[in-house]
């Protein structure tokens, strides 16, 4: 009788202890949910980092203009200051994309994909008749590629030999695609100056290959150590914009 | 009878003990998370303060840069007045600077404001009623085709290697994030640009049903300069 009684007491003890603990834990966790706030911290960090980067580039720009100013001031004669001005002009033209540039980069070609043998067998009748009417590459596809290249750090990009600058439009006109005023025909070829592996892996990550598979196209990537991206070749006259001159000190 | 009482007491006592133990453990844990939370909060305030300070400093620097550009411009103009060759170069230089986006510009233009449709949250196909990056690109592209000379999005000047990205409800231009509404400002012929957007079957018509898009012609808009680091190494240049 006694051992059995002890056993019951023992079991009772353990069970009630467990119940007690469980109850408390439940109560506590319901009362004080742990707040997840680490996300906002990391967001703030990125914002700060962006500001710091901006700070750095501002300083760089300031020192650039300081140097220019100093060069103008210390020029011995007009010839020298004119040559300083010419240098500044060629530097600015490079920024604007009016000068061809050379460096490391990647070439991205959008070419017709050879039909895979087994695929052709499976959806043979699907592909054969539809090929002409199947999805065509449109202007947004090309804009998307250019945008992705810039987003992955491309410094200069050309499409079929036409340099893309700040005012370049890529648009469908009828059946063909126009880059500014020039028509471009397939196969489309992008040349982008930048870190080749970053550019290529960036495009792959965004699904460029899958995207163009819809149009039955294949993407050929090529890295290059010496890539030439041509200068913007169209003639543009500026009619509407002018530099902001502040009112105070005219 | 006595035994039953004993059992009852035992149950109560052990129950209480368990309660106390768990409570003690939880309390220490809770105070720790609280500590973490307050640490996090402290971190947040610190970061926010640093961001604000940095922004202020950047504003000062921007002003400094503008002043510097102005004094450089003055020297250049003086040179241009003295020498005809310098005058010719200065014209080219100013054009190149405006095109490169390194100086603030002003002129007549147009302002396009895009934001998510108000009905977006109620619509079953929400995705159709929010502004996507391709919508912004479409408008920008149309403006460019209509002869826009300079464009900015939410105060970020588009330069020769700008990318337009959307992440969630924010847009990233030149690596700078900003929230809706997206304001696209362009300098050019206001009428040409407005007509281009309004073409039948054009941009406005195809977007209007889905997102909220407003177009306003302006006599004068100002676009800021691009501040950033399009850095070409000197060896990059060949021509």
Q: Any idea where the domains of chain A sit in the sequence?
A: 101-120+135-229
What is the dotted CATH code of the domain comprising A101-120+135-229?
3.30.70.1880
Residues B11-59 pLDDT 10s: 888 888 888 888 888 788 878 888 888 888 888 888 889 999 999 999 9
Q: Chain centroid to CA B55: how far?
A: 14
Q: What is the ipTM of this complex?
A: 0.77
CA B137 – CA B154 distance, rounded (Å) = 14
Residue A129, pLDDT > 50, answer no
In this predicted model, what pLDDT tens digit does every residue of B201-211 receive, in sequence order? 888 888 888 88
* B167 burial via Cβ count (<10 Å: 0-12, 13-18, 19+): exposed
Interface of B with A in 85-124 (CB under 8 A): 85-86, 89-90, 92-109
Chain B partners of A38 at a C-beta cutoff of 8 Å?
A: 40
Which is higher by pLDDT, A33 or B38? B38
Torsion of CA B72, B77, B80, B86, to 10 degrees: 30
Cross-sheet strand order for the sheet of A188-193 = A162-163, A156-159, A188-193, A101-112, A217-229
User: Residue A250: pLDDT above 60?
Assistant: no
Nearest CA in chain B to A34: B33
Of B30, B62, B97, the CB nearest to A92: B97
């Amino acid at each position: 009788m006694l051992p059995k009684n002890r056993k019951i007491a023992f079991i009772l003890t353990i069970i009630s202890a467990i119940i007690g603990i469980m109850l408390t834990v439940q109560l506590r966790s319901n009362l004080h949910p742990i707040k997840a706030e680490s996300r906002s911290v990391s967001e703030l960090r990125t914002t700060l980092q962006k500001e710091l980067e901006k700070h750095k580039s501002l300083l760089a720009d300031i020192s650039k203009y300081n140097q220019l100013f100093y060069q103008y001031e210390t020029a011995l004669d007009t010839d020298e200051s004119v040559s300083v001005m010419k240098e500044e002009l060629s530097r600015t033209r490079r920024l604007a994309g009016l000068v061809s540039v050379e460096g490391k980069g990647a070439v991205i070609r959008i070419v017709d994909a050879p039909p895979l043998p087994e695929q052709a067998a499976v959806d043979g009748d699907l592909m054969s008749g539809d090929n002409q009417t199947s999805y065509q590459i449109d202007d947004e596809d090309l804009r998307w590629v250019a945008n992705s290249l810039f987003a992955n750090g491309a410094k200069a990009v050309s499409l079929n030999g036409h340099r893309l600058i700040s005012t370049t439009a890529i648009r469908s006109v009828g059946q063909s695609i126009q880059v500014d005023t020039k028509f471009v025909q397939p196969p489309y070829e992008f040349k982008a100056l930048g870190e080749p592996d970053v550019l290529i892996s960036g495009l792959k990550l965004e699904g460029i290959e899958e995207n163009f598979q819809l149009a039955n196209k294949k993407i050929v990537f090529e890295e290059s150590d010496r890539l030439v991206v041509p200068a913007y070749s169209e003639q543009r006259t500026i009619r509407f914009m002018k530099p902001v001159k502040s009112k105070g000190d005219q | 009878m006595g035994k039953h009482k004993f059992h009852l007491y035992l149950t109560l006592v052990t129950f209480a003990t368990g309660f106390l133990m768990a409570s003690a453990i939880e309390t220490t844990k809770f105070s720790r998370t609280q500590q973490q939370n307050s640490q996090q909060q402290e971190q947040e305030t610190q970061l926010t303060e640093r961001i604000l300070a940095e922004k202020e400093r950047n504003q000062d620097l921007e002003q400094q840069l503008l002043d510097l550009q102005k004094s450089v411009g003055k020297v250049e103009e003086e040179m241009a007045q003295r020498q005809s060759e310098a005058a010719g170069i200065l014209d080219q230089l100013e054009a190149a600077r405006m095109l490169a986006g390194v100086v603030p510009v002003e002129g007549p233009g147009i302002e396009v404001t895009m934001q998510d449709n108000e009905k977006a949250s109620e619509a079953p196909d929400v995705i159709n009623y929010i502004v996507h990056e391709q919508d912004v690109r479409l408008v920008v592209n149309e403006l460019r085709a209509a002869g826009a000379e300079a464009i900015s999005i939410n105060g970020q000047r588009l330069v020769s290697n700008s990318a337009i990205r959307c992440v969630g409800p924010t847009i990233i231009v030149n690596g700078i994030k900003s929230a809706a509404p997206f304001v696209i400002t362009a300098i050019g012929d206001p009428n040409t640009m407005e007509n281009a957007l309004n073409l039948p079957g054009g941009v406005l018509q195809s977007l209007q049903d889905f997102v909220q898009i407003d177009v306003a012609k302006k006599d004068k808009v100002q676009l800021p300069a691009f501040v950033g680091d399009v850095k070409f190494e000197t060896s990059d240049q060949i021509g």
